[in-house]
């Protein structure tokens, strides 16, 4: 139990390294941030995809407005770039309230949290991104704030220590996390609404690309939108980023209109292949093939071979490779699938040798 708690705390404290390619990372320039805000939907009716989540949120929002109460505390989980932050801002817009945004690592001390909480007005929303990375001390202060809308602050020390109780106005906490498993049970249990966001279908990504192209005032063919969507790793954030890079390419090297051919050329120049894999994805697959004979290989061993942090591989690379069926997780570690061999053009000699000594697992 002690080892598990230590691992959870270590994961909270680690800042994800900037090891991803520019097109796939969460790092954006100031220009990108401005464009992201302009492309972000402001109402649930404009939000594309995640139909089940949107439908249930509509019911929760309508019910809260009918009762004239703040929305219950809400937890949004899922891989990066799927719309958790957008949904938090949409909820604020739909409820007609102010939203205060922060992140788990940004709240270093309990006093920081108390300062934020005491400045919230009735019905306001506090959005905490990467909430699983809150420190244990700060997390303890959140419990009474979420449950009883009050927070106890200890003033002075020793014999002069006094506890002061601050009454808070009823607010809504919206937490977003990419690793829901790292949330403590007490914190998780205090959320009334849970929603998990999954990777987007290609048809929804096409709609997002076309909508964003319209906002950016750039012509795009349907085939080109399909091409960008197919390489977007199931993520609207990546789709919009690829669209902006293709837009740059056609404005400099073409007539400013995005066609299928120009989209393919632009994405090729950024080393994004037809499956949406970039250089780091291909490096992971190649390392598993060349260094570990196609697997099994542990995540720590793969990360060490690439001189990367294991969290980068687990959070940014592995989910998509699992989704498209290029990787499989087994009790012995990660293994390449036949689809990965075919896509990467790997020889199947090692795969055959592996199956000779490690027959495929069968269910009971």
Q: Indicate which residues carry an active-site annotation.
A: 84-85, 129, 178, 237
Cβ–Cβ under 8 Å, residues 118 and 168: yes
**Which residues pair with residue 99 across a beta bridge?**
125
């Amino acid at each position: 139990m002690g080892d598990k708690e230590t691992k959870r705390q270590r994961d909270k404290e680690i800042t994800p390294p900037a090891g991803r390619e520019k097109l796939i990372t969460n790092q954006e320039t100031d220009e990108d941030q401005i464009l992201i805000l302009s492309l972000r939907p402001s109402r649930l009716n404009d939000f594309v995809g995640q139909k089940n989540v949107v439908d249930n949120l509509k019911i929760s929002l309508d019910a809260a407005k009918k009762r004239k109460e703040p929305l219950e505390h809400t937890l949004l989980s899922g891989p990066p770039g799927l719309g958790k932050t957008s949904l938090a801002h949409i909820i604020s817009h739909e409820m007609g309230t102010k939203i205060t945004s922060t992140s788990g690592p940004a709240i270093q001390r309990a006093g920081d949290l108390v300062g934020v909480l005491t400045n919230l007005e009735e019905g306001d929303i506090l959005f905490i991104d990467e909430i699983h990375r809150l420190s244990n001390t700060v997390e303890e202060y959140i419990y009474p704030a979420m449950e009883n809308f009050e927070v106890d602050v200890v003033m002075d020390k020793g014999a002069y220590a006094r506890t002061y109780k601050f009454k808070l106005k009823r607010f809504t906490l919206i937490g977003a996390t990419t690793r829901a498993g790292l949330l403590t049970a007490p914190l998780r249990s205090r959320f009334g609404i849970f929603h998990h966001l999954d990777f987007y279908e290609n048809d929804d990504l096409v709609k997002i690309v076309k909508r964003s192209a319209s906002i950016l005032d750039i012509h795009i063919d349907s085939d080109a939108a399909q091409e960008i969507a197919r390489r977007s790793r199931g993520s609207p954030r990546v789709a919009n980023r690829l669209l902006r890079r293709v837009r740059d390419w056609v404005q400099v090297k073409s007539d400013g209109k995005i066609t299928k051919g120009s989209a393919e050329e632009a994405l090729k120049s950024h080393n994004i292949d037809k499956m949406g894999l970039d250089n780091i994805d291909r490096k992971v697959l190649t390392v598993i093939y060349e260094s570990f004979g196609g697997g099994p290989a542990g995540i720590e061993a793969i990360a060490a071979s690439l001189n990367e942090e294991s969290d980068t591989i687990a959070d940014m690379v592995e989910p998509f490779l699992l989704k498209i069926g290029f990787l499989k997780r087994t009790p012995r570690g990660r293994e390449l699938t036949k689809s990965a061999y075919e896509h990467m053009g790997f020889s199947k000699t090692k795969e055959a040798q592996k199956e000779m000594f490690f027959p495929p697992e069968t269910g009971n």
